[in-house]
Amino acid sequence: MSAAGPRKTLVLNGPNLGRLGSREPDVYGSTSYAGLVQRCTALGKELGLEVEVRETNDEGEMIRWLHEAADGSIPVVLNPGAFTHYSYGMRDAAAQRTAPLVEVHISNPYAREEFRHTSVVAAVASGTVAGFGIGSYELALRALADDLAG
């Protein structure tokens, strides 16, 4: 934690991620969205990050949040959900980042349907963490904190 206090960090989630716990638990696990929020904010405090977790099913809202992050030099953990594979508008917003941005996925997209093998975000992200369940978020937050520490 800096002398100014914890560093604001956004954890942004795309479509259907608000349904964690009930949505395909064999793929996405049994942790609820509220559980995800709790785990991310608790780890954030430990790492000196003020984590705010958001979820949207609206592509335009996601783009606005990425603009907010770029304008404020706010680090981002981004799980684009289905936007990963086709949202060039979201990709272009992520490319404007002014702080680290880590793409995250609960499942391993490369072990799933072929259409999930392409990420339009990966090329503009600082890095990608995938396939570790909800732990993917924790790994991403740790990577962000390490990157911010220099």
Give the active site residues: 28, 105
Please say whether the beta carbons of 72 and 29 come within 8 A.
no
| Alpha carbon distance 40, 20 (integer Å) | 14
Residue 78: strand pairing partners = 12, 103
CA dist 41 and 53 (Å) reads: 8
Residue 106 counted as an annotated binding residue: yes
Check whether 146 is labelled as a binding-site residue: no
Is residue 132 within 8 Å of 28, Cβ to Cβ? no
85 is an annotated ligand-binding site residue? yes
Is 57 assigned a ligand-binding role in the annotation? no
Q: Is 67 annotated as a binding residue?
A: no
117 carries a ligand binding annotation: no
What backbone torsions phi and psi does residue 78 show, to the nearest 5 degrees?
-125, 115
Residues flagged as binding site for substrate: 79, 85, 92, 106-107, 116
